[in-house]
Amino acid sequence: MNESDWIRQYIAPLVTAPGASGLRDDVALLSIDGPTVATMDTLVEGVHFLRADPVDTVGQKLIRVNVSDILAKGARPSEALLSIAWPKNRSESEFSALLSGVARDLRELGVSLIGGDLVRTDGPLTVTLSLTGTCIGDGPVRRAGGAPEHALWISGEIGWGALGLEAAQSGVDPDIADRYHVPRIARMDAADIVARLASASVDVSDGLLIDASRLAAASECGVVIDLEAVPLAAPSPDLASILAQCTAGDDYQILMSAPPETRIDGFSKIGFLTESGGLQLRHRGQPVNAPSILGFEHKA
């Protein structure tokens, strides 16, 4: 592995922004067009993806988990810095595949790659993306900002991450496994909806229940969730199955609150914020005990 050659051959062709100087410099000039937010996520082999996962999907997942953070804040993804710690025992063709996955989602999600770093490692493949986003409104929509009686809305379906992981591990259903490898994130125009309508918003990456609790806590509210209203990957009348899906992570949907009279097309209403009372779950009107573990606790 010659890092300079690999950068020239596989990474530089993906870089078109003039401020990046074709990666032939030490820094990139950001193109700033309004209030700008930034996020950073790292994926580690064996923790966030499996050794056997198609490596192009690792590139896609990295872009998507970062884009999801930006969309949830009512911002459009803009420019990315990519760091790759590449294991000495992986091949050049795998490296090429990783970058082809990166390229696919840069294109599909409108992200511009402007720089980064490539280093060797004796350990697991470790990739980090830092991504900027341009706020559609005056600033990012925060987790704080919700108020009592504001309704809680979710994009897409919950549970595909966990269902997909199971399929990836068992090798039975590649179409479902693909949902784990390449998480479905909210549509690009969800950022406009968030910017226009949300009082508070969060990226549901660690599990619906834990992220709903975080939004409520940041907004100094309690929250009620009607479990039968949550759109699930595997719809079920069984409470244990519902709760499992609502506490599994890796779904990368948007959870937002909005004033009670607001209608939000393409999102599902699953509950509302309250004056107090922490997290309260209901199923068909009956109170349900919250599970002791509400989701993953691994994110900055």
Nearer to a copy of itself, 23 or 208 (CB): 23
Find the angle CA(285)-CA(287)-CA(288) to the nearest 5 degrees. 120
Restricted to residues 186-205, the positions that interact with a copy of itself (CB under 8 A) are 202-203
Instruction: Give the contacts of 194 (CB within 8 A, at least 6 positions apart).
Output: 71, 72, 73, 74, 141, 201, 254, 256
Is residue 85 within the footprint of a copy of itself (CB under 8 A)?
yes
Is residue 293 within the footprint of a copy of itself (CB under 8 A)?
no
Tell me the three state secondary structure of residue 77: strand
Cα 116 from chain centre? 20
Q: Which residues of 121-141 are buried (b: 16+ CB within 10 A; e: fewer)?
A: eeeebbbbbbbbbbbbbeebb
For the bound state, the minimum distance from the C-beta of residue 117 to a copy of itself, rounded and expressed in Å, comes to 5
Is residue 36 within the footprint of a copy of itself (CB under 8 A)?
yes
Nearer to a copy of itself, 24 or 107 (CB): 24
Residue 47 CA: distances (Å) to CA of 8, 51, 76, 239: 29, 9, 28, 28
Interface with a copy of itself (CB under 8 A), residue from 61, 64, 76, 143: 143
Is residue 140 within the footprint of a copy of itself (CB under 8 A)?
yes
Tracing tokens 């062709």 back to the chain, one arrives at: 13
For the bound state, the minimum distance from the C-beta of residue 296 to a copy of itself, rounded and expressed in Å, comes to 9
Region binding a copy of itself by CB under 8 A among candidate stretches 95-103, 167-175, 228-236, 291-299: 291-299
Contact call for residues 58 and 182 (beta carbons, < 8 A): no
Instruction: Give the contacts of 257 (CB within 8 A, at least 6 positions apart).
Output: 145, 146, 147, 150, 151, 152, 153, 198, 199, 200, 201, 215, 219, 273
Nearer to a copy of itself, 17 or 232 (CB): 17
Is residue 38 within the footprint of a copy of itself (CB under 8 A)?
yes
Is residue 32 within the footprint of a copy of itself (CB under 8 A)?
yes
Could you list the beta-strand ranges (E) of 98-199. Answer: 112-121, 126-135, 151-155
Question: In sequence order, what are the beta bridge partners of 191?
Answer: none
d(CA 88, CA 282): 51
Interface with a copy of itself (CB under 8 A), residue from 91, 108, 110, 123: 123
Restricted to residues 242-281, the positions that interact with a copy of itself (CB under 8 A) are none
Nearer to a copy of itself, 119 or 172 (CB): 119
Region binding a copy of itself by CB under 8 A among candidate stretches 80-88, 169-177, 263-271, 275-283: 80-88
For the bound state, the minimum distance from the C-beta of residue 299 to a copy of itself, rounded and expressed in Å, comes to 7
Interface with a copy of itself (CB under 8 A), residue from 147, 218, 239, 290: 218
Is residue 24 within the footprint of a copy of itself (CB under 8 A)?
yes
Q: How many residues does the chain have?
A: 300
Interface with a copy of itself (CB under 8 A), residue from 14, 17, 41, 256: 41
Tokens read off for 133:
């986003």
Judged by the rule CB under 8 A, the positions of this chain that interact with a copy of itself are 2-4, 7, 11, 21, 23-30, 32, 35-44, 46-48, 69-70, 72-73, 75, 79, 81-83, 85, 114-124, 126, 128, 130, 132-133, 135, 139-140, 142-144, 202-203, 218, 297-300
